[in-house]
């Protein structure tokens, strides 16, 4: 059973949030707005890593995990296909096998449906949650409400994806079907390689994810929050608080929030977390001053590729690499694959230069984040492992964690996300 979280009390040392990605910054800002003394600690600074390199979509529809039924049959084809979205570094695969076994075990109808139900409350109000988080700050300029398009080659391909769309409908999502003519009206530069789509309303994009997180962090500082740059080596809880061992010396906290992305497992596992974390590398390719291009963010279902119009560029993202070793150089193949995808969808697209990026997503085998107090101490709360939905769920997660630490009952059951599940 998870321990109770002792609410923040007058005279307590500050709350220390470890990790300045979107989850950590949203948590720190939410706590500061509730009047808490907060220190945000990160080894690099706000908005680095996956928080700057994501696809930039507030994807409330992303309730369906990758582990849909039959994945164990289709995964080899995804890896071996020339334009497949899944890459494996075979040298690092042996160490990943226990995580991968648990991951593939989730690919059943019942488990996929349960995961979708658990993800829904973290994602469905994502646009509203981010607008509330950014309200009154320079970060608000980076949020843009929009429809989100799912592209298919034809209606038959859409119908083959019926299981996923049933799960989205069960979560309350609605959409409009677009035939070739309706799709061309929405996206005049799109090629005829995609003849069917669905348009999902009430989504949003972040037009510069890195700048957005940095602006939220600046708002936190303007509200008298503090940011320190240091690598945290260990957490040592006791009855009255937590000591953080950092490269710059010890730091005393009343409570700690672990929102350190792929580094979180190293801090949380000694305190009883049992959910294994994989560093799942993702890639994006940015095309500067690209036109004529997309007018809406879109997911190309055939390539599993996201295409997002951003400030002054188009971002292509969504690939998965497993088995990579820390510090290994990025693979050359993913950016080429993304470039081919862009050429297929937008054959007349011209740009002023292409910039690749690679970074690690913190992924759990059941596709659910780790949220809640760690077994060793209710003063250390986990908030990590959001895999592909960290940006989307970041504002809601920050609000939930802030409520938990200030003695307010969160408005959903946190049991599915327990660190010792």
pLDDT digits (tens, 9 = 90+) for 122-145: 999 999 999 999 999 999 999 999
> Would residue 3 count as lying in a domain?
no
Mean pLDDT of 258-268: 96
- pLDDT, tens digit (0-9, with 9 covering 90-100), for 143-177: 999 999 999 999 999 999 999 999 999 999 999 99
Mean pLDDT of 292-299: 98
What is the rounded CA–CA span in Å between residue 138 and residue 211?
A: 10
Count CB-CB contacts under 10 A for residue 106.
22
Instruction: Kindly indicate the confidence band of residue 92, based on its pLDDT and cuts at 50, 70 and 90.
Output: low
Distinct helix (H) and strand (E) counts, the chain: 13, 20
Q: List beta partners, residue 279.
A: 362
> Would residue 108 count as lying in a domain?
yes
pLDDT at position 43 is 94
- Return the higher-pLDDT residue of 58 and 85: 58
Which tokens in the block code for residue 393?
């769920």
Mean pLDDT of 238-264: 96
**Edge-to-edge order in the sheet of strand 249-253:** 232-237, 242-246, 249-253
> Would residue 1 count as lying in a domain?
no
Domain, as residue range, for 247: 15-417
What is the rounded CA–CA span in Å between residue 148 and residue 229?
A: 37
> Would residue 363 count as lying in a domain?
yes
Inform me whether the pLDDT recorded for 87 exceeds 80.
no
Mean pLDDT of 315-343: 86
What is the rounded CA–CA span in Å between residue 135 and residue 129?
A: 10
For the chain, give the number of residues.
421
Inform me whether the pLDDT recorded for 79 exceeds 90.
no
Close Cβ partners of 126 (under 8 Å, ≥ 6 residues apart): 58, 59, 60, 204, 392, 393, 395, 396
Give pTM, 2 decimals: 0.95
Q: Is 261 left (phi over 0), alpha (psi -120 to 50) or beta?
A: left
Inform me whether the pLDDT recorded for 192 exceeds 90.
yes
pLDDT at position 415 is 96
> Would residue 7 count as lying in a domain?
no
pLDDT at position 72 is 66
Q: What is the DSSP string of 169-199?
A: HHTT---EEE-HHHHHHH-TT--TT--EEEE
Mean pLDDT of 279-288: 94
- State percent of the chain over pLDDT 70: 94
Instruction: Report the interhelical angle of 126-134 vs 22-33 (nearest 10°).
Output: 60
> Would residue 4 count as lying in a domain?
no
395, 396, 393, 397: which is closest to 383 by C-alpha? 397
- pLDDT, tens digit (0-9, with 9 covering 90-100), for 207-234: 999 999 999 999 999 999 999 999 999 9
68, 147, 46, 103: which is closest to 277 by C-alpha? 103
26, 370, 12: which is closest to 215 by C-alpha? 26
Instruction: Kindly indicate the confidence band of residue 81, based on its pLDDT and cuts at 50, 70 and 90.
Output: low
pLDDT at position 397 is 98
Contact (CB, 8 A) for 256 and 28: no
Instruction: Kindly indicate the confidence band of residue 332, based on its pLDDT and cuts at 50, 70 and 90.
Output: confident
> Would residue 378 count as lying in a domain?
yes
Report how far Cα 146 is from the mean position of its chain's Cα atoms. 19
In total, how many domains does the chain have? 1
> Would residue 5 count as lying in a domain?
no
Instruction: Classify residue 410 by its DSSP letter.
Output: P
pLDDT at position 78 is 57
CATH of the domain at 393: 3.50.50.60
Instruction: Report the interhelical angle of 209-222 vs 126-134 (nearest 10°).
Output: 50
Q: List beta partners, residue 309.
A: 314
- Return the higher-pLDDT residue of 87 and 54: 54
- pLDDT, tens digit (0-9, with 9 covering 90-100), for 353-387: 999 999 999 999 999 999 999 999 999 999 999 99
Sign of the torsion angle spanned by Cα atoms 406, 36, 228, 379: negative
Q: Which residues of 343-374 are buried (b: 16+ CB within 10 A; e: fewer)?
A: ebbbeebeeeebebbbbbbbbbbbbbbbbbbb
Nearest 5°: CA angle at 150, between 184 and 355? 90
Mean pLDDT of the chain: 94
Inform me whether the pLDDT recorded for 1 exceeds 80.
no
């Amino acid at each position: 059973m998870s321990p109770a979280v002792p609410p923040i009390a007058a005279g307590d040392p500050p709350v220390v949030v470890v990790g300045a990605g979107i989850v950590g910054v949203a948590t720190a800002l939410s706590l500061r707005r509730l009047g808490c003394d907060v220190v945000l600690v990160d080894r690099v600074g706000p908005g680095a890593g996956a928080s700057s390199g994501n696809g930039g979509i507030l994807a409330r529809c992303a309730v369906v995990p990758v582990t849909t039924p039959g994945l164990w049959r289709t995964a080899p084809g995804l890896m071996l296909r020339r334009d497949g979205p899944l890459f494996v570094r075979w040298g690092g695969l042996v160490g990943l096998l226990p995580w991968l076994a648990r991951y593939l075990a989730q690919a059943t109808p019942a488990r996929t449906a349960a995961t979708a139900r658990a993800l829904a409350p973290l994602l469905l109000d994502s646009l509203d949650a981010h607008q509330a988080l950014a309200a009154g700050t320079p970060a608000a300029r980076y949020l843009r409400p929009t429809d989100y398009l799912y592209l298919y080659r034809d209606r038959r391909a859409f119908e083959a994806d019926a299981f996923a769309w049933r799960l989205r409908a069960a979560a309350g999502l609605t959409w409009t079907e677009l035939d070739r003519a309706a799709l061309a009206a929405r996206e005049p530069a799109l090629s005829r390689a995609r003849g069917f789509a669905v348009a999902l309303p009430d989504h949003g994009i972040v037009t510069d994810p890195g700048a957005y997180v940095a602006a939220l962090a600046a708002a936190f500082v303007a509200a008298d929050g503090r940011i320190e740059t240091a690598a945290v080596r260990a957490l040592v809880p006791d009855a009255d608080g937590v000591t953080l061992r950092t490269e710059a010396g010890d730091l005393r906290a009343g409570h700690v929030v672990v929102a350190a992305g792929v580094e979180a497992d190293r801090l949380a596992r000694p305190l009883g977390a049992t959910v294994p974390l994989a560093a799942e590398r993702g890639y994006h390719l940015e095309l500067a001053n690209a036109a004529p291009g997309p007018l809406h963010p879109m997911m190309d279902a055939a390539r599993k590729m996201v295409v997002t119009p951003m400030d002054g560029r188009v971002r292509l993202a969504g690939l998965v690499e497993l088995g990579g070793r820390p510090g290994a150089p990025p693979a050359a193949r993913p950016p080429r694959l993304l470039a081919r995808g862009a050429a297929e969808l937008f054959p007349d697209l011209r740009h002023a230069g292409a910039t690749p990026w690679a970074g690690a997503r913190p992924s759990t085998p059941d596709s659910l984040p780790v949220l809640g107090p760690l077994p060793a101490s209710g003063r250390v709360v986990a908030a990590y492992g959001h895999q592909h939905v960290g940006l989307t769920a970041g504002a809601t997660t920050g609000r939930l964690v802030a409520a938990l630490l200030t003695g307010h009952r969160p408005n959903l059951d946190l049991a599915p996300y327990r660190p010792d599940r």
